[in-house]
Amino acid sequence: MATIDIHPHTTTHHDDHAHEHEHHHGNFWTNYVFSEDHKVIAKQFLITGMIWALIGGVLSVLFRLQLGFPDADLSWLKPILGGWLTPEGKIDPEFYLALVTMHGTIMVFFVLTAGLSGTFSNFLIPLQVGARDMASGFMNMLSYWFFFVSSVIMFISLFISTGPASGGWVIYPPLSALPQAMQGSGLGMTLWLVAMAIFIASSLLGSINYISTVINMRTKGMSFTRLPLTIWAFFFTAIIGILSFPVLFAAALLLIFDRSFGTSFYLSDIYIGGEALPNQGGSPILFQHLFWFLGHPEVYIVLLPALGITSEIIATNSRKPIFGYKAMVGSMLFIAILSFVVWAHHMFVTGMNPFLGSIFTLLTLIIAVPSAVKIFNYVTTLWKGNIRFTSAMLFSIGLVSFFLTGGITGIFLGNSAIDIQLHDTYFVVAHFHLVMGSASFFGMVAGVYHWFPKMFGRMLDEKLGYIHFWLTFVGVYLVFFPMHYIGIAGFPRRYYSWTNFETFSGFADLNMLVSAAAILTLSAQFIFLFNFIYSIFRGKVAPANPWNSNTLEWTTPRNPGHGNWPGEIPTVYRWPYDYSKPGAKDDFIPQHIPYSETPESNFPHENELIKLELNNETIKVEGKHGH
């Protein structure tokens, strides 16, 4: 076995010698900028995602200032906002909508899709399945740079004189199709569509890579049933992405046609600006169907990776196997399938045929079952564990708590009859910010705390992590929980101010609380930002396996090079959740430890496997000779 040592680079770049050479003595550009190493690409996604998160967060605080302190004089923001402030020092109502729109777009796509999936799928898939790199390093690099270009275009759109896209992150036409309807539907919307088209290309390139890597490049012994739940989650996420993002692309393309080439896919019978437009026969509802055909699976594209990360972290830090591994995989599969047939629950009162509403109510509430199963499994994993509250663990528990709090309100919204009143109110805002926004964000942050040592070879400061967690955890609840009350009272979302209505005249106090909590929560993120940057350079040097974890990434050197393992890729002999196994001397047995080395803790059926392990060795050697 030891005689057949594969050189790490020959497997990844076997047909490109010149290229391989570069990676040995690569310069700054090939090592850090146009790198094909999945780990570098992951870090690029992470850092870009963090910058976007900061921008998205600042935008939300800006519009929360308007909602929480409607009488405040914001003239001090003049240097940043310039003409977007009215002479009285208020945010311009149209710019308010731009803020809301861009906050949504940035958070959903650039932070929680690219920043989360892009970072952790890239980083963890090869490391945890035991591969030298992604199936196609080049495509992977391309995926980041498409994302980068898309980011630059979206970023530029924030600064143009007519403002960025402002029709809500769902960009429903005709509002988004007609520059006459609002300023933001001019150049801002064009840039939005271009940026998103490129973003979709990036996402597809990434997803194809994730899927092929998971299917084809698992190391010896890494059967599907031995995959960590993180990988299962990334795998399902990528499949959902591949199936749904092209539909958004189609939707966007048709919208581009309507905007620029005079087609009428979404437009009909419109009289605007003193003029009857010639467009006839289109349907705005068609766009909504196409949009939500991506839009709903998107929720799970955002959520599943976070749930996968949490599964891993909760099991590791409870020192217990994840409860119901098969049920976890099964529920993710079920969620992935169902996520494609629930989209119209966003459209109960949009004029869609009510019969469709009944069907989608039924399907929507079915999806609550696997989601509930996941929560029960997390809680039961904690049960009789021996819980270490690392920062990552705290954020994971926070995630489960948000997933519960926000998920349960989905039962109201998924029920079409109840949704009539709650649709497009703050109840919805509270629901999805908790279940999807905050939960996924916590998953992402938990992932950073957990895998930072592997990314940068140093530890994040745990104490700062604790402060970051508690401020954020309490802050998020204070921001989003009060919104349930505001929503039950009927307050519509995307309102610049409610003072025009007697019905919505109350809750100035709660809105102020929400805004103050939002500012607190955003401020707390700077602690994390400091911790992150400081620890990259000055953090405590990370041990090989800081969390005593079972998965393969912890068998690599402290700073793994391109190719991940200097020697042969470890073979996998067991599932990743042998924590606190009875009889074992440590409370964890990594995946690459054969059963033959742990006779003291093996179950009877595992002893049977020892024979197979030996066979495996011979098969492997023969296989290698065959090459």
Partner 1 sequence: MLTLIIVVGILLVLGILFLIFRIGNLVGLVKGKEEDVAESNSVHAYLFILFMIASLVGFFWYSYAHFDSYTLPVASEHGELTDYLFWVTMAVTVVAFVLIFVVMFWFTFKYRYDKNRKADFVADNHTLEIVWTVIPAIVLALLIFSGLRAWNDITDEASKEAAVIEVIGQQFLWTARYPGKDNLLGKHNYQLIDASNEFGLDLRDQNTFDDFKSLELHLPKGKEVKLVIRAKDVLHSVFLPHFRVKMDAVPGMHTTFKFVATKSTADMRSETGNPNFNYEMACTEICGRGHFSMRFPVFVHDSVEDYEKWLYSQDAWLKQNPDYLKQVPAELREAAFVKAGIPLSSQEVLTAAPVSVTLN
138-167 residues near partner 1, rule: CB under 8 A? 167
Q: Which of 171, 155, 143, 163 is nearest to 52 (CA)?
A: 155
| DSSP assignment of 518-576 | HHHHHHHHHHHHHHHHHHHHHSPBPPSSTT---SGGGGS-SS--TTS-SSSPPPP-S-T
Q: Which is nearer to partner 1, 51 or 584 (CB)?
A: 584
Considering the complex, state which of residue 278 and residue 626 has its C-beta at the smaller distance from partner 1. 278
To 10 degrees, the CA torsion angle through 443, 449, 455, 459? Answer: 180
94 binds partner 1 (CB under 8 A): yes
- Near partner 1 by CB under 8 A: residue from 1, 383, 557, 612: 383
Binder of partner 1 out of 164, 228, 297, 321 (CB under 8 A): 321
The stretch among 12-20, 186-194, 471-479, 561-569 that binds partner 1 (CB under 8 A) is 471-479
Beta carbon of residue 492, minimum distance to partner 1 (angstroms, whole number): 4
Considering beta carbons, is residue 17 or 388 the nearer one to partner 1? Answer: 388
Nearest residue (CB) to partner 1, 341 versus 379: 379
Q: Which stretch binds partner 1 (CB under 8 A): 45-53, 403-411, 592-600, 614-622?
A: 403-411
Given the rule CB under 8 A, which of 189-197, 301-309, 369-377, 450-458 is the region that contacts partner 1? 369-377
Residue 547 corresponds to which tokens in the numbers above? 């969390």
Residue type, 570: P
Spatial separation of the C-alpha atoms in residues 321 and 229, rounded to whole Å: 11
The DSSP call for residue 492 is: B
Question: Which residue in 45, 192, 234, 323 binds partner 1 (CB under 8 A)?
Answer: 323
Structure tokens at 169: 């992150």
Measured between alpha carbons, how far is 380 from 244 in angstroms, rounded to an integer? 33
Question: What is the rounded distance in angstroms from the CA atom of residue 573 to the CA atom of residue 597?
Answer: 11
Nearest to 552 by CA among 273, 217, 195: 217
What letter does residue 7 receive in the DSSP assignment?
A: P
Tokens standing for 135? 């199936």
Instruction: Write the DSSP symbol of residue 272.
Output: E
What is the nearest approach in angstroms of partner 1 to the Cβ of residue 266? 9
Instruction: Among 243, 337, 404, 519, indicate the residue that binds partner 1 (CB under 8 A).
Output: 404
DSSP state of 19: H
Q: Is 20 in the site for partner 1 (CB under 8 A)?
A: no
Q: CA torsion angle for 356, 358, 363, 367 (degrees, to 10)?
A: 130
Task: Kindly list the distances between the CA atom of residue 7 and the CA atoms of 128, 205, 456, 563, 564, in Å, as whole numbers in the listed order.
Answer: 19, 27, 24, 9, 11
Is the separation of the CB atoms in 172 and 284 below 8 Å? yes
Residue in 155, 166, 253 with CA at minimum distance from that of residue 201 = 253
Q: How far apart (Å, rounded) are the C-alpha atoms in residues 518 and 473? A: 11
Among positions 149, 368, 508, 516, the unique one binding partner 1 when judged by CB under 8 A? 368
Of these, 463, 558, 611, 624, which contacts partner 1 (CB under 8 A)?
A: 463
Residue 180 per-residue DSSP state:
T
Burial class (CB in 10 A: 0-12, 13-18, 19+), 549: buried
* Interface of this chain with partner 1, residues 576 to 595, rule: CB under 8 A: 577, 579-582, 587
Nearer to partner 1, 497 or 618 (CB): 497
CB 346 within 8 A of CB 292: yes
- Min CB(315)–partner 1 separation in Å: 10
Distances (CA, A) of 173 to 158, 250, 284, 348, 601: 20, 14, 6, 17, 62
Q: For partner 1, which residue of 216, 223, 260, 386 counts as binding (CB under 8 A)?
A: 386
- For partner 1, the binding residue among 215, 417, 612, 621 (CB under 8 A) is 417
CA angle 329/335/341 to nearest 5° reads: 150
Q: Copy the structure tokens of residue 372.
A: 């509930």
Q: Least distance in Å: CB of 135 to partner 1?
A: 32
- Of 33, 58, 80, 420, the residue at the interface with partner 1 (CB under 8 A) is 420
Beta carbons within 8 Å of 373's beta carbon, 6+ residues apart: 324, 327, 331
- Least separation, in Å, of the C-beta of 215 and partner 1? 26
Q: Out of 160, 387, 519, 610, which residue is the one contacting partner 1 (CB under 8 A)? A: 387
Residues 478-497 close enough to bind partner 1 by CB under 8 A: 481, 485-486, 488-490, 492-497
Q: Looking at 141-149, 152-160, 217-225, 353-361, which segment touches partner 1 (CB under 8 A)?
A: 353-361
Nearest distance from C-beta of residue 293 to partner 1, angstroms:
18
Least distance CB 586 / partner 1 (angstroms): 10
Nearer to partner 1, 424 or 617 (CB): 424
The Cα 408–Cα 540 span in angstroms is: 41
380 is a site residue for partner 1 (CB under 8 A): yes
Least separation in angstroms between CB 151 and partner 1: 25
Smaller CB distance to partner 1: residue 207 or 364?
Answer: 364
Count of residues of this chain found to bind partner 1 when the rule CB under 8 A is applied: 118
337 near partner 1 (CB under 8 A): no
Cα 39 from Cα 485, distance rounded (Å): 44
Q: Does 459 bind partner 1 (CB under 8 A)?
A: no
Q: Is the Cβ of residue 421 or residue 618 nearer to partner 1 in the bound state?
A: 421
Contacts of partner 1 in 251-290 (CB under 8 A): 267-272, 274, 276, 280-285
Which amino acid, residue 433?
Answer: H
**Binding of residue 379 to partner 1 (CB under 8 A):** yes
Considering only residues 189-208, where is the footprint of partner 1 by CB under 8 A?
Answer: none
CB 294 within 8 A of CB 342: no
Kindly state the smallest distance separating residue 92's Cβ from partner 1, in Å. 8
d(CA 478, CA 476): 5
Q: Which is nearer to partner 1, 280 or 615 (CB)?
A: 280
Q: Could you say which residues in the range 503-542 bind partner 1, by CB under 8 A? A: 503-504, 506-507, 530
**Given candidates 324, 457, 561, 594, which one binds partner 1 under the rule CB under 8 A?**
324
Q: List the x/- string, 53-92, binding to partner 1 by CB under 8 A.
A: -----------------------x----------------
Among 10, 161, 421, 618, binds partner 1 (CB under 8 A): 421
Q: Does 350 bind partner 1 (CB under 8 A)?
A: yes
Backbone φ and ψ for 91, nearest 5 degrees, come out as: -70, 135
Q: Which two tokens stand for residue 510?
A: 């709660």
Which range in 188-196, 204-212, 224-232, 316-324 contacts partner 1 by CB under 8 A? 316-324
